[in-house]
Structures are given as structure tokens and as C-alpha cells.
Structure 1
Amino acid sequence: MASEFPADREKFYEGWGAFFKQLSAHGGSIVLLPAAAAEPPPKVKVVLFNKGKLSLVQVGQQVTAASFESLAIVPSNATKFDASEMTHSDFAALAKSQGAYVNLTK
């Protein structure tokens, strides 16, 4: 995506979020392929949230839908997600402000 404006990327991040919602609905798993770290389109950072702990999804790592409560899809340079812990409300607000937030708790 050529645009530098975050608003232009909103649908891109929401598309990633929709994919993870389908993953959860079907109880599946996903592996990020090397293309997830390539530009264009923008590089993304997928951050999982589970019981206050954050974990960054690495290329080649398998992720199952049951292993996390919510996630953020944000630009790869979003450094605030490099923390190891965060409250759920802070995580959700930060994810919504920088990319997309997906809550998978039922």
C-alpha cells in the first residue's frame, strides 16, 4: 500500500482481524508465512493477549485459536506492544488506536 496515512490502512488491518475471527469460529490454527513480514503491503505485527501477557507472533510460529483471548494487528514499528504485560483495557485501546483489535472471548 503506497499511502502513508493510517486511515488508508484501517481496512487492511481489519481484514487481518476478520481472518482471525474466522480462525476462532472454526477452532483452527494459523502459521504466519514469510510474506507477512514483506512490504508492500505494510509489514504487520500480530500481538496476542492472554491473561495480561503479550506475545508477538513470529513468522513460522503456529498459533491456535484457543491459545489467546484477544489480539492486535498493528504496524510492525508499533513499539508499545513490545511490553510483556498490559491490562486488557490498555491493550484494546492501544490496538484500536494503532491498527485493529479483535476480542475472541466468548
Structure 2
Amino acid sequence: MSDGKTNPPRPGARVRGSQTGRPVMALLDLLGRRWVLRILWELRGEPLNFRELQAACGGISPSVLNTRLAELRESLLVETRTDEGYALTKTGRELLKQLTPLTVWSEKWAKMLK
């Protein structure tokens, strides 16, 4: 990465946990990166500009936020809207919908652990 660009996980390429880059493993690698889920969560509503998104995430450095946004844009989950800032793409919104059952399951699991 000598050019300073990020390399988000890609299906078909070696990713964390998979030599072959199975699509689900590439997705889990991406979602497992620090701050990625939080960024996606904060963009679930209206678009946010960089400062608003940084404040919503609380504690994320500007350089990490820039890196994660670049990865999420390259992965087609986030788009830049010139006037409005950053927003989820249609694919990003679909991903959050797919995570809803996991959220429900985790709430049940948390109650079991109490």
C-alpha cells in the first residue's frame, strides 16, 4: 500500500479467515474492521457530512474515518453526495436490513447471559 490507498476485502481474493476469498468471508472481514459497523449504523438515516459523521461515531480519528469511508465507497456500501455528505447506497441499506435478524438474535442472547 505504498500509494496510500486502502484495499478493502474483495470476494475471490485472500481475506482474513479465507484463502479463497469466499464472498461471506470478504464481507465479514470488511465488517470486522474497526469502526465499519458504527459508520454504517450512523448513516442509517439521513446523509451526514464528514464532521457530523465523525461526531456521531465519537472518538474516531479523521484519518481512520477517511480510510474507512474510502473502503466503504470502494465496496459500494457508501456513496458521497456532493451537497449532503455521505450516505448508504442501496446495497448498504440492503446490508443493514440483512443484519436486523442478527440484532434480534443478539438481544435474546444477551438476556440469556444475564
Q: TM-score under structure 1 normalisation?
A: 0.31
Structure having the higher Rg? 2
Greater relative CO, 1 or 2 (CA 8 Å, sep 6+): 1
The structure with the greater share of residues assigned to helix is 2
Normalised TM-score (structure 2): 0.29
